[in-house]
């Protein structure tokens, strides 16, 4: 099992990061992807896979972080990202994307400009994109009309779009990953979204420290909870857990070849 999206670099893991990793390995997790969210974290993140190849990283600018960064520095950050990606060591571009609730402090126009920069870098460096899209699906679909999805793929993380949206993203070749909410009995949106995705486009994540699955709901999430999420996914989709695990692993390795055997 591979956790395709967890923010283990955040301060909320400062006290027990190594212990959280040990719990993950003990739970049967064999690899994880930490998506970088801010330029200030990129250099340190790149050290991680060198120490432990089970931990792989993406590099990007999260739209929710844009209000903390000067708009005039956006281009500078993207060229720095270009340089770092040229050196190797990152397996994806992101986390990047569009965030509806953040438009008040980072207008959609700026978010789209920065996102287009990530698309260009993903194509140039032949890496998949790790996409955050919260209440901004029309804007993202508009971007996809003119930004070709990188050949290496695009992963819609913690996806909760409607079945209709899923069809549109599928046409662009997107993959979809799901986190803790698929284990909440009343969470209709993510569960409907989960059921709308074909098995060969499906991935799993904890999105730690957020979105902890049942029975840890409301607490800090961590990669060791991934089996709970995968079991919930299997139950909701009516598939044998072993079939789903196998498919998730195959899909993950296709998107992130570094996890190949």
| Beta-carbon contacts of residue 120 (< 8 Å; ≥ 6 apart) | none
User: What is the smallest separation between the CB atom of 10 and Zn ion, expressed in angstroms?
Assistant: 10
C-beta closer to Zn ion: residue 40 or 167: 40
- In this structure, are residues 208 and 238 in contact, taking their beta carbons and an 8 Å threshold? no
C-beta closer to Zn ion: residue 137 or 145: 137
In what order do the strands lie in the sheet containing 92-99?
A: 2-3, 31-35, 55-59, 92-99, 129-134, 154-156, 175-178, 202-204
User: What is the smallest separation between the CB atom of 129 and Zn ion, expressed in angstroms?
Assistant: 13
Return the bridge partners of 56, or none.
Answer: 33
C-beta closer to Zn ion: residue 196 or 211: 211
The CA-based dihedral angle spanning residues 122, 159, 183, 230, taken in that order and rounded to the nearest 10 degrees: -40
User: What is the smallest separation between the CB atom of 156 and Zn ion, expressed in angstroms?
Assistant: 12
Q: Among 44-52, 84-92, 95-103, 232-240, which window interacts with Zn ion (CB under 5 A)?
A: 95-103
Q: How many binding residues for Zn ion (CB under 5 A)? A: 1
For the chain, the residue count is 261
C-beta closer to Zn ion: residue 82 or 210: 210
Q: For residue 85, give both structure tokens.
A: 């990606």
Which is nearest to 174 in space by CA: 192, 194, 200?
A: 200
- In this structure, are residues 121 and 93 in contact, taking their beta carbons and an 8 Å threshold? yes
User: What is the smallest separation between the CB atom of 37 and Zn ion, expressed in angstroms?
Assistant: 7
Q: Find the binding residues for Zn ion in span 206-245 (CB under 5 A).
A: none
Binding mask 116-135 toward Zn ion (x if CB under 5 A, else -) reads --------------------
Q: Among 65-73, 88-96, 183-191, 222-230, which window interacts with Zn ion (CB under 5 A)?
A: 88-96
Binding mask 44-83 toward Zn ion (x if CB under 5 A, else -) reads ----------------------------------------
C-beta closer to Zn ion: residue 3 or 95: 95
User: What is the smallest separation between the CB atom of 46 and Zn ion, expressed in angstroms?
Assistant: 18
Which is nearest to 36 in space by CA: 121, 151, 109, 147?
A: 121
C-beta closer to Zn ion: residue 147 or 205: 205
Closest residue to Zn ion, judged by C-beta, is: 95
What is the H or E stretch that residue 39 is in?
A: helix 39-51
Query: CA-CA distance, 21 to 152, in Å (whole number)?
Result: 28
Return the bridge partners of 2, or none.
Answer: 31
C-beta closer to Zn ion: residue 76 or 135: 135
State the residues that interact with Zn ion by CB under 5 A: 95
């Amino acid at each position: 099992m591979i956790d395709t999206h967890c923010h283990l670099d955040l301060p909320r893991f400062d006290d027990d990061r190594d212990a959280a990793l040990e719990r993950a390995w003990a739970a049967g997790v064999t690899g994880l992807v930490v998506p970088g969210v801010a330029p200030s974290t990129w250099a340190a993140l790149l050290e991680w896979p060198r120490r432990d190849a089970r931990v792989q990283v993406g590099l990007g600018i999260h739209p929710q972080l844009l209000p903390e960064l000067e708009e005039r520095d956006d281009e500078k950050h993207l060229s720095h990202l270009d340089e770092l990606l040229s050196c190797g060591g990152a397996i994806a571009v992101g986390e990047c994307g569009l965030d509806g609730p953040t438009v008040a402090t980072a207008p959609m126009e700026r978010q789209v400009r920065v996102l287009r920069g990530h698309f260009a870098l993903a194509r140039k460096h032949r890496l998949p994109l790790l996409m955050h899209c919260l209440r901004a699906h029309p804007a993202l679909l508009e971007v996809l009309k003119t930004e070709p999805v990188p050949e290496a793929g695009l992963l819609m993380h913690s996806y909760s779009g409607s079945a209709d949206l899923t069809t549109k993203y599928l046409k662009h070749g997107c993959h979809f990953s799901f986190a803790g909410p698929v284990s909440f009995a009343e969470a209709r949106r993510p569960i409907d979204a989960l059921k709308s995705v074909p098995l060969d486009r499906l991935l799993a994540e904890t999105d730690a420290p957020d979105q902890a699955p049942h029975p840890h709901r409301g607490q800090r999430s961590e990669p060791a909870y991934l089996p709970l999420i995968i079991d919930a996914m299997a139950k909701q989709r009516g598939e044998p857990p072993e079939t789903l695990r196998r498919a998730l692993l195959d899909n993950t390795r296709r998107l992130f070849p570094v996890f190949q055997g």
